[in-house]
Structures are given as C-alpha cells and as structure tokens.
Amino acid sequence: MIKYSEEVADAIFRKKPVVALESTIISHGLPRPKNLEVAFEVEAIVRDSGATPATIALIDGVIHVGLELEEMERIANDDQVVKASTRDLAIIESKKLSAATTVAATAHIAALAGISVFATGGLGGVHRGHTYDESADLLALARIPIVIVCAGVKSILDVPATLERLETLAVPVLGYRTNKFPGFYLTDSGYEIEHRVESADEIASIWKNRVEIKTDDCAIVVTNPVQNQMDVELHNRILQEGLAGAEAAHITGKAVTPYLLEYFHSSSGGESLRVNIEIIKSNTALASQIALALHH
C-alpha cells in the first residue's frame, strides 16, 4: 500500500529519526523552477542534521513515503499532478493519478508510516471573509498524533478564527522561542501564544508527557517565526489585492490557497518567495532537531 524510498525504508528499519515533508508546497506553493531546487535543499537540511527526509506524495496511484529523484521531478514539474487532501487519497489511488499531499494528507500518511515529526511552511486554517472555508488541515491536526513545525498559519487566512478553532479542537500550540503567534510571511501575526518553548528537548518532553496522560491523540503545533520577514506594507498591500482578485475571479475550494500564494509570488518581486523559502528551510531544520530529540 505504501512504497518507501530506499533511504526511508532503511531509516525505519534501523529505527533512525525521520522527518516527513509535504509536497503541495512543491507542486502548488512555490513557482517553477525554484520549487524543485528548494525540495532538494530541504531534504539536504534533514540529512545534514542526521535525520532522514521523507517527502510524501502519490505517484501513479501509489502512496510514496520518500521520493526518488525522478519522482521529485514529477511532483515539481508535471501539470497533471493534483493537490490531494485526506479525502482524495483513496480516490487518487484507484484512478492511478499522481498527487501532491497537503498538510492534512501528509500528516495522515506520515502517522500511518510511524513518523512523528513533520515540517511545512504555513498551516491551512479559516479563510478571511469566508469562515465556512476552513482547511481540512485543522481537523486532521485534531486527530493525528504528530509534531508539526510551521510558521503559524498562512497570513492569507483569518488568524484569530484559526486560533480559536485550534483551541476548540484541543490542539496544543507552542511558540518556539516566542510568545507571538507567527504570521507566516511576517514574524508576528499580532496574536499571542500562551506557551513558549526554548528547545527541541523541551518539545520532546512535552510529547512524552502526553503519552502518559493520554492527551496524545492529536498533533502538537510548533510555531517557528521567520527571522527576516517580508516588508509589512508590501505584504498588506498584496494581501488586500490578492483577496480582492480571488473574489473577483470566483476562486473557490482548494484553488484559493494556491491562487493567493501565486499572487504573492508574482506581485512581490521575489520577496514572498525569499521569505517562503526561508520559512520552509528553518522549519525543516527545527523539525530535524525535534526528530533527533524524540529519539533519545
């Protein structure tokens, strides 16, 4: 049912730390040709830390945990690759399609494969102006035990509504060396986080405590603020324009997030791309440290 890359199969066999990586950011989140370059660089960050990267996607209907070189190229460059959330997985298997997985679908597959740590850019959440449009990421986090490292939720979203939903869903949120909920492209979204942690070891100890008291049936969201944020005025202007553009073009469903991210990338003269890449790299480095810390 799952095809493991050689590297990941070996790591799981030897019980070595593995970090799951999502693929929608490669296929639908970053522009070509930078997306492929970043996908490889991110995997290298995991390897350099001593853990093993497992980029997750579906190739011709088969769930892959860890991609070989040509498979990564397909996810990055093939227009036929669709964006898959958890509900799409069985359908894509049966239709033998190729798909990149969202945070929700990646977390689901990672947990199935016994992987406990996952790095992404920004989580999905409640959309601005359309609070009924809520990413399946949120419900997935409520039922999948995994540590997910992110830069908060994407700033295109309704941050306070998303934080309230995470509270209702009983998903713990940690600020890595911060008490400010990060704003994806921005270091600070303007909202507070109650719980600040200082180290990967502290996160690992929280993970272990949860098991003993049986509050380990959901994710732990670790938020890692970007160091060199986007210019705030540029960010806010593009955000307003992008939201208005999505409205005018009647963009709906799973096309909304890729539309807005692409709007940022094509309107910010490379700024949002630079920041998005910094986010994913820095989250991957922290996720690798957490995977190592969970290990000892």
Q: Which one of Mn ion, ligand PSU, none is in contact with 156 (Cβ closer than 5 to 8 A by kind)?
A: none
- Is 43 part of the annotated catalytic residue set? no
For residue 254, state whether it binds ligand PSU (rule: CB under 6 A). yes
CA distance 187 to 97: 37
Q: Which of 7, 22, 43, 271 is catalytic?
A: 22
For residue 137, state whether it binds Mn ion (rule: CB under 5 A). no
Q: Which of 49, 86, 116, 135 binds ligand PSU (CB under 6 A)?
A: 135
For residue 288, state whether it binds ligand PSU (rule: CB under 6 A). no
Residues binding ligand PSU: what is the number (CB under 6 A)? 19
- Is 22 part of the annotated catalytic residue set? yes
For residue 133, state whether it binds Mn ion (rule: CB under 5 A). yes
Q: Which of 18, 28, 117, 218 binds ligand PSU (CB under 6 A)?
A: 28
| Residue number of the CB atom closest to ligand PSU | 121
Which one of 21-29, 128-136, 163-171, 262-270 is the stretch in contact with Mn ion (CB under 5 A)?
128-136
Interface residue list for ligand PSU (CB under 6 A): 22, 24-25, 28-29, 102-104, 120-122, 124, 135-137, 254, 257, 261, 276
Which amino acids are annotated catalytic? 22, 154
